[in-house]
Structure 1
């Protein structure tokens, strides 16, 4: 399910708005936030029969909006949009021209900038695990209360993941500006926490409550099922050149499939070449971190137990919630330059029949018999009167050899209808890597024609 959240008055997108399923209860922990374009995506919602979902969108300084939708098995709901109505919050500086001191409390609103952190991390991860929130109490004219009308405000969590999250203090009195502050601290589960402030006006027998305010808890410890390692270029041009860089990246998530807390440490090592031990600042807000594998050191170390000579293994390590190491590995090839002995054409001698053609098998590898660097071009040149089909070859990003990587097939056909004499001819294979290393080889044959 996906959609977009916008301001009902301006049409502007709303970033960081929450979208949460309220019912049925088995989906009540399903939530997300909008991105900078106001777009959201809820995870796969699996139902076995026609089910009505109640979904609420909320954002700071906006009234929440709830909509229902019926979902059947296999449905993919798109463009499920919300338009949120802005709250009308007076700044407390005169209440629209009403004179005199503030009266008794009539409303509780979130103060401008009232939340220090709209998302916090799971407890004991070393990240930000608490946030303060500030409410303002206003009279019927929209003016903040003064000390003469101070109220004791109680705070509560009206919904949350139930992982031990809490509020401290649970009650506090408004100050001279009519505001009151407390703190939410996270527990050990991810989810959306909705907090509310309320007062009891015993003098008029009225309970006044704020609108719920949503804060997200996420960013737990690394989880092995949400930890992946990727290599930018499997076959990079690092065997014969020092200082060639190859980006290595990891994405680290927690057991709730959210990014781990920003700054989570990941350590990198390699069996060949040089690798940066950790990324600057460690993981970012998306749980990603990248380092460079740099060609250098003794190439004799590039000896993989199964892939053979020229290969290295990258290992990324981090720590889970039980203080155990978790690792991911990926292999990479330090591709060497091309050479003439590593260009083979079958058949190596040939006869192109009159107005006919011949199919060739071509194998091209680096000097170690491995795939050439990604981006290497292989050009097939033939004499006048001949035409190549299947000769536009570029070596792909690949770890091991095979069809389309080291092994190719092309055809050469006779296209000369004017010359009827048998002629000697040749096919030339030219190889050039992205860094400019070159090799070429030529193969002789005959273009068979007949005499008139």
Structure 2
């Protein structure tokens, strides 16, 4: 009994092992090429479709060498598949193949005959193709889209697009009038801004083709449409693959109009040709990006600015131009500037949906390369174990903050610790004030070995992004030590 039980257990485990491993081999691969039957040239972008059975329906397109591949066909038993190949200006061809789990079928090729050639068949009968009148609908294939991107309604651009599907039978033949079908179109996802399809239903023509139109609403986004046939005679619903069409935004809206600079303060007063990128972002009244190609024009009161970006706004409603340093050097008396030279106003303008000009401005500082540095106090007497504190000011020669990216450091000499505003990089500042032009630091003696007094000089260094350095050595004093 033990021996029988052991055999039964072994057989049971073997059955489980075989069952588990067989699933890994159920994928079938079919590969091949589509060529011109007249000259053998490869046909790129041809459609190859599994048309039957319906549960295996799939399609792909040939690459530039005319090659195609299906690698995700899962079968669990011997199955008869029908594949069809088609291309513009060629007669379609269908072929049958029997597959089993794990098959890797190569060189399953199609040779398509150019339309107009009289090979005596008058249909899809070349090299094993199927001829004769079409049967019932089995597949819906996208035939073409007039515009893959459209604009929001009433923006003055293209606001609708037509699309066509071709309905084929299980042998890849286009439906004729005797087997015409009513096709229903639907939007399966979209921005829900009032977009729609007209007509909702249409009947295939003598070539099995059916056409409808998508019109946009007032919101931007991606719309997915689908075609569907319900064959009540056999209880089958046939659907196309979803087709995506993009709706771009509407007219510019002032509340969704912004302008910003990479640097609000750049080294443009003393240098010609320094470039400072500025970016405009434009949205419509719903907060969607305006349609690509919307024109934005720029002016400046200092230097030179590119009139508009190449191609105008992109798909995100953005356009970037360069403000280029040069004459005239600006002297705008803007609020907060104190009336000093160096301030420029850059203006971006566009047209809204009411044909009105709207604009946004940004203030830019053209800073000098040389710095003006002062400190208080300028003398000190550092007592044993004591310290000293200072305030200092760094501006450009016009009294404005130095350019963004300017490096400021303080050197107290050997065995002097400096803390506070030292060894840092200046940020984007438009106007003078604490953190922009006004700073502070402290020093402390860290030499615990020497008892000798010493004279000290504190050096402040300012280095601009172009590498020009200004130094200040106006703080001096004595470090006193304890007497042993």
> TM-score normalized by structure 1?
0.71
- What is the distance in 1 between the residues matched to 2:150 and 2:330? 48
> Measured at CA, do residues 130 and 449 of structure 1 come closer, stay the same or move farther in structure 2, by a change above 3 Å?
same
Stretches of structure 2 that go unaligned for 5 or more consecutive residues are: 1-25, 28-57, 60-71, 74-80, 86-92, 98-128
Contact 1:136-1:144 within 8 A present in 2 as well: no
Q: Quote the Cα distance in structure 1 between the aligned partners of 2:84 and 2:159.
A: 30
Name the structure with the higher helix share.
Answer: 2
Task: Report what 2:176 is aligned to.
Answer: 147
Superposed CA deviations along residues 180-200 of structure 1, whole A, max 9, x for unmatched, are 333323244445655454568
- Give the distance between the partners of 2:412 and 2:419, measured in 1 at CA: 11
Residue 335 of structure 1 deviates from its aligned partner by: 0.8
Q: How far apart, CA to CA, are the structure 2 residues paired with 1:133 and 1:215? A: 10
How far apart are the structure 2 equivalents of 1:153 and 1:162?
27
Aligned to 1:429: 460
Distance 1:89 1:189 in 2: 42
**Paired residue for 1:264?**
294
Match of 2:31 in 1: none
Question: In structure 1, what is the equivalent of residue 280 of structure 2?
Answer: 250
The C-alpha deviation readout for 1:400-440, integer Å capped at 9, x for no partner, is: 23333222222211112222232221111122212132222
Higher mean C-alpha deviation, range 385-394 or range 363-372: 385-394
Cα deviation 1:7-56 (Å, max 9, x = unaligned): xx99xxxxxxxxxxxxxxxxxxxxxxxxxxxxxxxxxxxxxxxxxxxxxx
1:420 aligned onto 2:442: no
Counterpart residue number, 1:321? 353
- CA positional deviation for 1:136: 1.9
Corresponding residue number in structure 2 for 1:274: 304
Q: 1:214 to 1:107 in 2, by over 3 A?
A: farther
Are the equivalent residues in 1 in contact too, given 2:452–2:481 (CA < 8 A)?
yes
Task: Kindly report which structure 2 residues correspond to 1:222-241, keeping only aligned pairs within 5 A, or say none.
Answer: 222-241=252-271
Describe the superposition over 1:292-349 as per-residue Cα deviations: whole angstroms up to 9, x where unpaired: 111112225443254232111211111221212222221111111334xx21112211
Separation in structure 1 between the aligned mates of residue 442 and residue 229 of structure 2, nearest angstrom: 85
Give the drift of 1:229.
Answer: 0.8
Does residue 390 of structure 2 align to residue 360 of structure 1?
yes
How many residues are aligned here? 366
**C-alpha offsets along residues 239-262 of structure 1, whole Å, 9 cap, x if unaligned?**
112211110101111222221111
TM-score, normalisation: structure 2: 0.67
Checking the alignment, whether the CA contact within 8 Å between 1:388 and 1:411 is kept in structure 2 is: yes
Matched, 1:400 2:437: no
Partner Cα distance (1:184, 1:421) in 2: 90
Contact 2:336–2:431 (CA<8 Å) still a contact in 1? no
Report the equivalent of 2:376.
346
Distance 1:207 1:419, change over 3 A: closer
Corresponding residue of 1:6: none
Task: Report which stretch shifted further, 295-304 or 222-231.
Answer: 295-304
Q: Paired residue for 2:366?
A: 334
Matched residue SS, 1:225: helix
Listed as ranges, the matches of 1:364-375 within 5 Å are: 364-375=394-405
Write the mapping of 1:27-426 to structure 2, written as runs, cut at 5 A.
Answer: 91=84, 93-94=93-94, 96=96, 99-101=130-132, 103-111=134-142, 114-139=144-169, 141-147=170-176, 149=178, 151=180, 153=182, 156-157=185-186, 161=192, 163=194, 165-167=196-198, 171=202, 173-176=204-207, 178-190=208-220, 193=223, 195-197=225-227, 204=233, 210-211=239-240, 213=243, 215-299=245-329, 301-307=331-337, 308-309=339-340, 310-339=342-371, 342-390=372-420, 391-426=422-457
1:438 aligns with 2:440: no
CA distance in 1: counterparts of 2:178 and 2:439, whole angstroms: 85
User: 1:425–1:289: structure 2 CA closer, same or farther, 3 Å change rule?
Assistant: same
185-194 vs 289-298, which moves further: 185-194
Q: Which runs of 5+ in 1 are unaligned?
A: 1-8, 11-60, 63-84
Q: Check conservation: 2:455, 2:476, Cα contact below 8 A.
A: yes
Q: Distance in 1 between matches of 2:265 and 2:196?
A: 48
Alpha-carbon distance between aligned partners in 2 of 1:438 and 1:216, rounded to the nearest angstrom: 53
SS in 1 for 2:255: helix
8 Å contact from structure 1 (residues 355, 416) kept in 2: no
Distance 1:389 1:164, change over 3 A: closer
Please provide the CA RMSD for this pair: 3.4
Conserved 8 A contact 1:375-1:395: yes
> Greater CA radius of gyration, 1 or 2?
2
